[in-house]
């Protein structure tokens, strides 16, 4: 069977599983595996179909085959879910952590970890769910899982807002609707008509949006720290010809990361009000701004022919301070009391 027919068959199996016809999906995938027993993706499709029919043991066996044949992270996510179904939570957590380690940019890995941690470690479960939101804020599933995780840390307001967002993305999401009712909201209709939820765009930063800004500040501060250190090390050899351009690229990176995060999480929120209400955020932003300004000054000096590294020392110190404040703030918000 050629690669294209395999892809077509697996797509058909996925559609059958989504439509609730998992027995037919299993038959299709088994046909692929008869000819290609080392096809890791096919083993994952088989495991997903087995999960859908409630056969967690067979699903786990399929996931192990996928892992054995080199699947990157899906096999570990699948194994985590199957292990949860079998009541083997500790093993499920280990498998989910391995999925995150292998593919940290896949939101599904963080969602799997959040679900596996569950009540065992609700604080870390909440943090993992938040990371899933950062990677896929246009998917309903991460918001649904975040709502569940927020309930476990007794943050009902974040849970409400997460469930509302899940319904905005997927109006037929019954899990989110049911939990909103349990949280004291009026009964929501079960049709696919979009729910008239309270708007997510707000005057004040919510917990999710604040965490998003903190993650952006941490990312840009780490970029400044590494970049300024590289510039200093290269500058020790009196190689200044391209350093100015690298400094400019570094500044543009910071502007892009922070600007994108602000548009994404805090558009419409007054800057002054945000900085007044979130003093640590203002401190970290101020340190990073100081680093950026000094980097711009140094870049201009290099462009004018100067050969000095003194401003970079201050850039390095202030950016490291910004990283420390950001890491501390993220830890505190991901581990509420």
HEC secondary structure over 102-165 = HCCCCHHHHHHHHHHHCCCCHHHHHHHHHHHHHHCCCCHHHHHHHHHHHHHCCCHHHHHHHHHH
Contact 42, 36 (CB under 8 A): yes
Give the C-alpha separation, 78 to 49, whole Å.
11
Confidence (pTM): 0.58
Q: What is the pLDDT of residues 90-133, one digit of tens each?
A: 999 999 999 999 998 999 999 999 999 988 888 889 888 988 88
Contact 276, 224 (CB under 8 A): no
Contact 31, 9 (CB under 8 A): yes
Q: How far is CA 109 from the centre of its chain?
A: 9
Q: What is the pLDDT of residues 163-193, one digit of tens each?
A: 989 999 999 888 898 888 888 754 444 444 4
Task: Give the torsion sign (CA, 65, 56, 139, 90).
Answer: negative
Taking residues 6-27, report their average pLDDT: 85
> How buried is 232 (Cβ within 10 angstroms: 0-12 exposed, 13-18 middle, 19+ buried)?
middle
Q: How many other C-beta atoms lie within 10 A of the C-beta of residue 221?
A: 28
> Residue 195 pLDDT > 80, yes or no?
no
Taking residues 129-158, report their average pLDDT: 89
- Angle (CA) 193 168 260, round 5°: 150
pLDDT at 266 (0 to 100) = 64
Helix, strand, coil: what percent of the chain each, to 5?
A: 75, 0, 25
> Residue 196 pLDDT > 60, yes or no?
no
Q: How far is CA 89 from the centre of its chain?
A: 22
Query: 17 vs 49, which has greater pLDDT?
Result: 49
pLDDT at 279 (0 to 100) = 82
Give the C-alpha separation, 93 to 113, whole Å.
6
pLDDT at 64 (0 to 100) = 93
pLDDT at 116 (0 to 100) = 94
Q: What is the pLDDT of residues 214-266, one digit of tens each?
A: 788 888 888 888 888 887 777 655 555 556 567 778 888 888 888 877 776 66
Three-class DSSP category at 166:
helix
Closest CA to 119 of 82, 143, 93: 93
pLDDT at 193 (0 to 100) = 41
> Residue 213 pLDDT > 80, yes or no?
no
Residues 6-9: contacts with CB under 8 Å, at least 24 apart? 6/32, 6/36, 6/39, 6/42
Tell me phi and psi for residue 19, to 5 degrees: -85, 0
Taking residues 3-28, report their average pLDDT: 82
Contact 257, 220 (CB under 8 A): yes
Give the C-alpha separation, 94 to 186, whole Å.
39
DSSP letters, 274-337, are: HHHH-HHHHHHHHHHHHHHHHHHHHHHHHHTT----HHHHHHHHHHHHHHHHHHHHHHHHHS--
pLDDT at 145 (0 to 100) = 93
Query: 204 vs 18, which has greater pLDDT?
Result: 18
> Residue 202 pLDDT > 60, yes or no?
no
pLDDT at 88 (0 to 100) = 92
Task: Give the torsion sign (CA, 115, 120, 122, 126).
Answer: negative
CA atoms within 13 A of residue 184's CA, in its CB half-sphere: 3
Query: 213 vs 318, which has greater pLDDT?
Result: 318
pLDDT at 209 (0 to 100) = 66
Q: What is the pLDDT of residues 274-287, one digit of tens each?
A: 777 778 888 888 88
pLDDT at 199 (0 to 100) = 37
Taking residues 62-79, report their average pLDDT: 91
Contact 30, 42 (CB under 8 A): no
| CB contact burial 184-194 (16+ within 10 A = b; e otherwise) | ebeebeeeeee
> Residue 162 pLDDT > 80, yes or no?
yes
Q: What is the pLDDT of residues 309-329, one digit of tens each?
A: 778 888 889 889 988 988 888
pLDDT at 273 (0 to 100) = 66
């Amino acid at each position: 069977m050629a690669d294209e027919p395999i892809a077509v068959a697996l797509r058909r199996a996925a559609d059958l599983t989504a439509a609730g016809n998992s027995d037919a999906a299993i038959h299709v995938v088994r046909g692929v595996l008869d000819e290609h027993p080392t096809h890791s993706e096919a083993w994952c499709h088989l495991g997903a179909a087995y999960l859908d029919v409630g056969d967690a043991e067979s699903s786990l066996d399929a996931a192990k085959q996928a892992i054995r044949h080199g699947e990157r992270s899906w096999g570990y996510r699948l194994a985590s879910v199957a292990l949860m179904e079998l009541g083997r939570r500790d093993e499920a957590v280990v498998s989910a952590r391995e999925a995150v380690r292998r593919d940290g940019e896949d939101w599904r890995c963080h969602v799997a970890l959040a679900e596996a941690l569950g009540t065992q470690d609700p604080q870390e479960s909440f943090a993992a769910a938040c990371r899933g939101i950062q990677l896929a804020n246009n998917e309903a599933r991460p918001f649904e899982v975040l709502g569940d995780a927020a309930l476990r840390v007794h943050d009902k307001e974040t849970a409400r807002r997460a469930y509302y967002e899940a319904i905005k993305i997927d109006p037929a999401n019954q899990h989110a609707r049911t939990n909103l009712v349990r949280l004291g909201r009026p009964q929501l209709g079960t049709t696919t008509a979009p729910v008239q939820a309270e708007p997510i765009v707000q005057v004040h930063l919510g917990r999710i949006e604040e965490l998003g800004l903190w993650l952006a500040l941490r990312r840009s501060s780490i970029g400044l720290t590494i970049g300024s250190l590289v510039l200093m090390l290269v500058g020790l050899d009196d190689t200044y010809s391209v350093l100015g351009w690298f400094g400019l690229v570094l500044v543009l990176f910071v502007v892009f990361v922070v600007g994108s995060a602000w548009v994404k999480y805090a558009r419409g929120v007054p800057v002054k009000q945000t900085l007044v209400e979130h003093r640590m955020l203002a401190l970290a932003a101020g340190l990073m701004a100081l680093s950026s300004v000094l980097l711009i000054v140094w870049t201009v000096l290099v462009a004018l022919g100067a050969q000095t590294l003194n401003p970079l020392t201050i850039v390095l110190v202030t950016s490291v301070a910004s990283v420390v404040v950001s890491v501390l703030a993220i830890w505190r918000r991901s581990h509420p009391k």
